[in-house]
């Protein structure tokens, strides 16, 4: 029973997608209700993962395997540990909210939209729980198909096609390099099972090569700076719920990949390339924070700030100590919540005014007080104000970075100042000042459905900021084990 | 002589049946279509169904052959698991392409029942080709198959494109056959033998001997290979492919896309593995060159295509490049990967052509020609658009679809023998190639509708075939073992 938990988590959205597929596309309400119901049920089911999770072991839990290809050693097996637990929870948490957000804003092809989200949910759960390198690659790539369609079909503007291509080709190119690396690993070890691979070692030369190939894939996803170009494009053109998923989960795929593969499989190469990662991350933090300051598109601002935050994550991952890695995991979670919520906020104003240009907005706090409060809260969380979720993560990351490299910590800390600069500047421009009635006339505050969407985010942001131990506790053993492997 | 009749003919029972059936069909067609008594009936669809039936019975005969291996007719034909497997795939894809054509024949008012006869005849040629174990029997079978294909390409006599395609195909095909024949005669002239097994025995261990004889034999081998590369759409010899694909009637293009290259590849593999394996160093270089060239040319040229059939032609060239990678690796794994790839490719092409044949304008019955005409599809027929998107993603090799696994096996076999360079090229071109598949999806899904075109409804056989193809593509990764085991076994019987 326990073993089949992950498989049922995977199967549930797929069954839901099948049911949605069979419902006629004219009955919109039923479609939405079925999709929302399935994803909500999946979320509740996934909570059992957390409840039943054994905190005292670094082994993979809820493991279940099926034979796949007869002649090879590749098995379909699923299992989670402290690293992947919360990423799965984050996925199942965000999907119902995404569906709820697009309740009214999506008007065309509702059925296909819902199918896309449910399939995406199953794929993402699979990515975080699969224990085989080849299958990890399969699901990692498969996410592209629904994402491509989401941006292309339901995106808002002409540029969406360009954005969809960017997303697809950047990711594809990176991950095909990873595929060659996976094949090389298979030929050396004869297996792609992660649990067995953790016990094998590669020669120094080969480690470096393989590490770089994996890096090509994860650096695009997370994104490190020269490979981040796809991200602002994809974010800006995606529909609100698409951005939420992109920021909330897809960016975490890269971080998860580093933690799951790069660190334990190639420990020496990881140490060797740590300066590279640190340099790239610091550049990314400074560069994207400064870039954020001169953006005019609301979503682009949040997208660039996502890049900055994710590069804190990479610093944490490669800091080589417990605080750094746990901080980066927590920061991934917190960013998944905060930045998703910010994208939702922008979705709210976009739904009302159909523009995302900063210059048309001003003084919204006067007419939309509730929105003003919510937006303020998440802006503060984005600055990582103490008491909110991001603070804990960022603090731990900086702590970890300080232990391993002081100058990196110094430069990363300036990122916090810059983060405060662009966040406050953004909030100032949107919420305060005089109303620009010549551009925007109709104001209606956050409605009940939107408020219901925001409540869980607010709750989690504060919970994680005030009492992070419930999130950190399941991670301890797994992260400690990871570090042990690295030494 | 007696023993020949007693023993050997039972081994070719499927071929004999196929030939008899097609002759009966020919007589039947000729008599009834010219019979005034019956009012000169149009027999094209009728004969297609009968041809499907006779091919189906041939499949059954092959499936029920009780022996595993045989070498017959004084070692000119060989029957083993590999040939049986290839034959089954060829027969099934021929059946599929016949079924695809049913609706087309009626709507395009093609009244010539010879279409089905020619398809069956060329399929028969392919069956013989797959079994060939001798250069002479191979050449005869190849010509048998090709002559039927030349006529098929020019099936629509009133269309300029079709006659031009037939002419081009004929000239280049005859030219390549000439090269092939010259190569075969060089091999014969310097060794005195045409049988692959004998050649294999002669060359065993001689691969690095640079005497004059082996030099001439080497040239002979290269020329045979060039002749065969012409037929599998490999790059320096590909110039005819887009024109023939575009000009031929679409049902014929579908047949070209699915069936003939597998028979040629099957013999090609046998030629190199049985006879010239010791020249691995030479032919591996050549095949690698061809595959890299195919990958690059196809992925770049397809980017600028506007017509859907030309696009598919370049896509076929690109896929031939991937298959040749597996071939060039020169290992059972490579052959397995190639066979797997070709089966998956046939399934994808089947779906693609079912779709192309189905999208016809409501009133004029004209088939769509330009890829920009597809831009209404997601609005008018979302399910069809989804199926096609699935096929396109699979052609691009995106997991979790069937095309990915086959591509993975190709890369797998190449990495195993350390052909990293070609793998990197394969990766880069597959990213470039993805662009043009994505463009089709983009046109169907994302673009604003320019003109409202309504399409005729898809007929039942085509929708069934498209459904099968999509089902296969979608769920192949969930349970790939049967096909993988089959191809593995086929590759092993050939290589061991």
Q: Which residues of A touch B423 (CB under 8 A)?
A: 180, 183
Taking CB atoms and an 8 Å limit, are A70 and B481 in contact across chains? Answer: yes
CB-based burial of residue A17 (10 Å sphere; 0-12 exposed, 13-18 middle, 19+ buried)? buried
Q: Enumerate the β-bridge partners of residue B132.
A: B77
Mutation choice for A interface testing from B399, B405, B442 by most A CBs within 10 A: B399
Q: Which residues of B touch A130 (CB under 8 A)?
A: none
Assign A272 to helix, strand or coil: helix
Taking CB atoms and an 8 Å limit, are A153 and B446 in contact across chains? Answer: yes
Residues of chain B with confidence (pLDDT) below 50: none
Taking CB atoms and an 8 Å limit, are A179 and B434 in contact across chains? Answer: no
DSSP annotation of A71: T
CA distance A422 to A308: 12
3 state SS for A426-439: HHHHHHCCCCCCCC
pLDDT (0 to 100) of residue A211 = 94
Q: Which residues of A touch B400 (CB under 8 A)?
A: 138-139, 142
Residues B266/B268/B272/B276 CA torsion (nearest 10 deg): 130
Which has the closest alpha carbon to B21: B119, B103, B93? Answer: B119
Burial B65-79 (b: 16+ CB within 10 A, else e): eeeeebbbbeebbbb
Residue in B with minimal Cα distance to A116: B386
Q: Which residues of A touch B488 (CB under 8 A)?
A: 71
Half-sphere exposure of B95 (CA within 13 A, CB side): 18
pLDDT (0 to 100) of residue B209 = 59
Residues of chain A with confidence (pLDDT) below 50: none
CA distance B260 to B93: 10
Q: Distances in Å between the alpha carbon of A452 and those of A44, A242, A381, A456?
A: 17, 19, 19, 7
CA distance B125 to B137: 10
Q: Which residues of A touch B446 (CB under 8 A)?
A: 152-153, 160-161, 164
CA distance A443 to B159: 64
H or E segment at A269?
A: helix A267-293
How many other C-beta atoms lie within 10 A of the C-beta of residue A315?
A: 31
In sequence order, which residues have a C-beta less than 8 Å from that of residue B285 and are 6 or more positions away?
Answer: none
| B492 Cβ under 8 Å from any chain A Cβ | no
CB-based burial of residue A313 (10 Å sphere; 0-12 exposed, 13-18 middle, 19+ buried)? buried
Q: Are B121 and B144 in contact (CB under 8 A)?
A: yes
Read off the pTM: 0.91
Which has the closest alpha carbon to A97: A438, A364, A336? Answer: A336
Q: Which residues of A touch B490 (CB under 8 A)?
A: none
Which has the closest alpha carbon to B274: B126, B132, B416, B127? Answer: B132
pLDDT (0 to 100) of residue B4 = 60
ipTM of the predicted structure?
0.89
pLDDT (0 to 100) of residue B464 = 93
In sequence order, which residues have a C-beta less than 8 Å from that of residue B169 and are 6 or more positions away?
Answer: B149, B150, B153, B240, B244, B248
**Token pair 């990958």 in the structure block, residue:** B295
Burial A205-216 (b: 16+ CB within 10 A, else e): ebbbbbbbbbbb
Q: Closest partner residue to B431 among A69, A176, A184, by Cβ? A: A176
How many other C-beta atoms lie within 10 A of the C-beta of residue B306?
A: 10
Tokens of B376: 């209404």
Tokens of B91: 């027969």
Q: Closest partner residue to B481 among A69, A152, A180, by Cβ? A: A69
Q: Closest partner residue to A173 among B431, B445, B485, by Cβ? A: B431
Taking CB atoms and an 8 Å limit, are A153 and B398 in contact across chains? Answer: no
CA distance B384 to A358: 41
Phi, psi of B134 (to 5 degrees): -150, 145
CB-based burial of residue B140 (10 Å sphere; 0-12 exposed, 13-18 middle, 19+ buried)? middle
Q: Are A147 and A160 in contact (CB under 8 A)?
A: no
Taking CB atoms and an 8 Å limit, are B446 and A179 in contact across chains? Answer: no
| B434 Cβ under 8 Å from any chain A Cβ | yes
Residue in B with minimal Cα distance to A188: B416
CA distance A273 to A65: 34
| B415: closest CA of chain A, how far (Å) | 7
pLDDT (0 to 100) of residue B161 = 87
CA distance B21 to B54: 6
Q: Which residues of B touch A70 (CB under 8 A)?
A: 481, 484-485
Interface of B with A in 363-382 (CB under 8 A): 378, 382
Taking CB atoms and an 8 Å limit, are B445 and A152 in contact across chains? Answer: yes
Q: Closest partner residue to B442 among A71, A134, A152, by Cβ? A: A152
CA A191 to chain centroid, in Å, comes to: 29
Interface of B with A in 462-481 (CB under 8 A): 477, 480-481
CA distance B341 to A179: 18
Q: Are B360 and B367 in contact (CB under 8 A)?
A: yes
In sequence order, which residues have a C-beta less than 8 Å from that of residue A431 and are 6 or more positions away?
Answer: A363, A364, A365, A372, A375, A376
Q: Which residues of A touch B445 (CB under 8 A)?
A: 149, 152-153
Taking CB atoms and an 8 Å limit, are B445 and A144 in contact across chains? Answer: no
How many distinct helices (H) and strands (E) make up chain A?
22, 2
| A160: closest CA of chain B, how far (Å) | 9
Residue in A with minimal Cα distance to B405: A138
CA distance A278 to A246: 24
| B383 Cβ under 8 Å from any chain A Cβ | no
Rg (CA), chain B: 22
Q: Closest partner residue to A71 among B428, B477, B488, by Cβ? A: B488
Q: Are A94 and A150 in contact (CB under 8 A)?
A: no
Q: Enumerate the β-bridge partners of residue A65.
A: A77
Residues in chain B: 496
CA B136 to chain centroid, in Å, comes to: 22
Q: At CB < 8 A and 24+ separation, what contacts does A434-438 make?
A: A434/A362, A434/A363, A435/A362, A435/A363, A435/A364, A435/A366, A435/A367, A436/A360, A436/A361, A436/A362, A436/A363
Q: Which residues of B touch A168 (CB under 8 A)?
A: 434, 438
Q: Distances in Å between the alpha carbon of A28 and those of A34, A111, A374, B300?
A: 10, 8, 30, 43
């Amino acid at each position: 029973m326990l073993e089949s938990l992950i498989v049922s988590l995977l199967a549930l959205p797929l069954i839901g997608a099948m049911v949605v597929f069979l419902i006629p596309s004219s009955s919109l309400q039923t479609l939405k209700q079925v999709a929302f119901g399935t994803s909500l049920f999946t979320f509740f089911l996934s909570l059992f993962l957390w409840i039943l999770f054994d905190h005292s072991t670094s082994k993979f839990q809820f493991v279940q395997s099926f034979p796949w290809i007869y002649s090879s050693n590749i098995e379909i097996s699923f299992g989670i540990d402290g690293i992947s637990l919360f990423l799965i929870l984050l996925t199942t948490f965000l999907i119902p909210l995404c569906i709820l957000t697009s309740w009214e804003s999506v008007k065309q092809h509702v059925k296909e939209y819902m199918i896309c989200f449910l399939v995406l949910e199953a794929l993402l759960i699979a990515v975080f729980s699969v224990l085989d390198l080849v299958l990890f690659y399969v699901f990692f790539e498969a996410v592209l198909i629904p994402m491509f369609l989401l941006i292309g079909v339901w995106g808002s503007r002409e540029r969406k096609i360009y954005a969809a291509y960017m997303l697809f080709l950047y990711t594809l190119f990176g991950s095909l390099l990873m595929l060659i690396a996976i094949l090389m690993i298979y030929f050396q070890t004869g297996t792609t099972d992660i649990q067995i691979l953790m016990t094998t070692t590669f020669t120094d030369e080969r480690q470096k090569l393989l590490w770089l190939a994996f890096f090509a894939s994860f650096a695009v996803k997370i994104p490190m700076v020269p490979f981040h170009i796809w991200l602002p494009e994809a974010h800006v053109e995606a529909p609100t719920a698409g951005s939420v998923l992109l920021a909330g989960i897809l960016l975490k795929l890269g971080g998860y990949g580093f933690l799951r593969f790069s660190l334990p499989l190639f420990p020496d190469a990881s140490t060797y390339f740590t300066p590279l990662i640190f340099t790239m991350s610091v550049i990314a933090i400074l560069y994207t924070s400064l870039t954020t300051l001169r953006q005019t598109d609301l979503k682009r601002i949040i997208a660039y700030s996502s890049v900055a935050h994710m590069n804190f994550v990479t610093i944490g991952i490669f800091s080589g100590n417990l605080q750094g890695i746990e901080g980066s995991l927590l920061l991934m979670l917190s960013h998944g919540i905060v930045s998703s919520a910010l994208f939702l906020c922008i979705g709210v104003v976009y739904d009302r005014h159909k523009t995302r240009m900063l210059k048309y907005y001003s003084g919204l706090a006067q007419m939309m007080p509730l929105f003003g409060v919510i937006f303020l809260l998440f802006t503060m969380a984005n600055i990582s104000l103490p008491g909110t979720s991001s603070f804990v993560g960022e603090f731990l990351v900086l702590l970890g970075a300080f232990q391993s490299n002081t100058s990196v910590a110094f430069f990363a800390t300036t990122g916090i100042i810059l983060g405060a600069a662009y966040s406050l500047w953004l909030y100032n421009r949107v919420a305060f000042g005089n109303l620009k009635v010549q551009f925007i006339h109709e104001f209606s505050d956050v409605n009940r459905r939107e408020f219901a969407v925001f409540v869980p985010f607010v709750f989690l942001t504060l919970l994680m900021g005030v009492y992070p131990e419930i999130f950190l506790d399941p991670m301890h053993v797994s992260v400690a084990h990871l570090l042990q492997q690295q030494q | 002589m007696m023993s020949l009749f007693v023993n050997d003919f039972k081994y070719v029972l499927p071929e004999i049946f196929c030939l008899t059936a097609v002759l009966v069909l020919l007589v039947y067609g000729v008599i009834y279509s010219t019979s005034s008594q019956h009012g000169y009936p149009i027999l094209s669809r009728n004969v297609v169904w009968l041809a499907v039936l006779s091919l189906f019975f041939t499949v059954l005969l092959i499936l029920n052959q009780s022996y595993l291996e045989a070498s017959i007719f004084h070692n000119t034909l060989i029957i083993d698991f590999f040939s049986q497997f290839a034959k089954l795939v060829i027969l099934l894809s021929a059946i599929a392409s016949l079924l695809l054509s049913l609706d087309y024949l009626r709507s395009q008012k093609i009244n010539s029942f010879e279409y089905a006869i020619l398809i069956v005849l060329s399929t028969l040629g392919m069956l013989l080709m797959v079994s060939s174990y001798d250069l002479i029997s191979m050449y005869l079978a190849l010509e048998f198959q090709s002559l039927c294909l030349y006529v098929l390409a020019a099936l629509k006599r009133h269309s300029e494109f079709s006659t031009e395609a037939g002419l081009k195909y004929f000239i280049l095909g005859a030219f390549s056959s000439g090269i092939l024949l010259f190569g075969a005669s060089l091999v014969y002239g310097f060794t005195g033998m045409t049988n692959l097994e004998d050649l294999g025995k002669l060359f065993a261990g001689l691969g690095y001997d640079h005497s004059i004889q082996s030099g001439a034999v080497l040239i002979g081998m290269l020329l045979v290979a060039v002749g065969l590369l012409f037929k599998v759409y490999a790059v320096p010899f590909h110039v005819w492919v887009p024109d023939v694909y575009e000009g031929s009637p679409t049902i014929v293009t579908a047949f070209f896309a699915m069936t003939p290259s597998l028979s040629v590849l099957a013999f090609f593999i046998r030629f190199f593995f049985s006879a010239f394996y010791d020249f691995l160093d030479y032919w591996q270089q050549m095949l690698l060159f061809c595959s890299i060239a195919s990958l690059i040319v196809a992925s770049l040229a397809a980017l600028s295509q506007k017509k859907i059939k030309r696009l598919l032609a370049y896509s076929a060239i690109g896929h031939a490049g991937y298959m040749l990678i597996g071939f060039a690796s020169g290992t059972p794994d490579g052959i397995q990967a190639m066979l797997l790839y070709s089966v998956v490719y046939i399934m994808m092409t089947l779906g693609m052509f079912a779709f192309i044949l189905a999208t016809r304008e409501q009133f004029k019955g004209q088939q769509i020609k330009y890829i920009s005409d597809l831009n209404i599809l997601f609005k008018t027929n979302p399910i069809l658009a989804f199926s096609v998107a699935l096929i396109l993603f699979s052609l691009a090799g995106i997991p979790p679809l069937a095309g990915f696994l086959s591509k993975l096996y190709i890369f797998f076999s190449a990495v195993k023998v350390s052909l990293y360079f070609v793998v990197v090229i394969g990766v880069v071109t597959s990213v470039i190639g993805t662009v043009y598949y994505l463009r089709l999806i983009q046109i169907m899904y994302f673009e604003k509708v320019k003109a409202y075109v309504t399409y005729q409804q898809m007929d039942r056989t085509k929708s069934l075939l498209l459904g099968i193809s999509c089902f296969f593509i979608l769920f192949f990764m969930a349970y790939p073992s049967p096909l993988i085991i089959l191809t593995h076994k086929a590759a092993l019987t050939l290589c061991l």
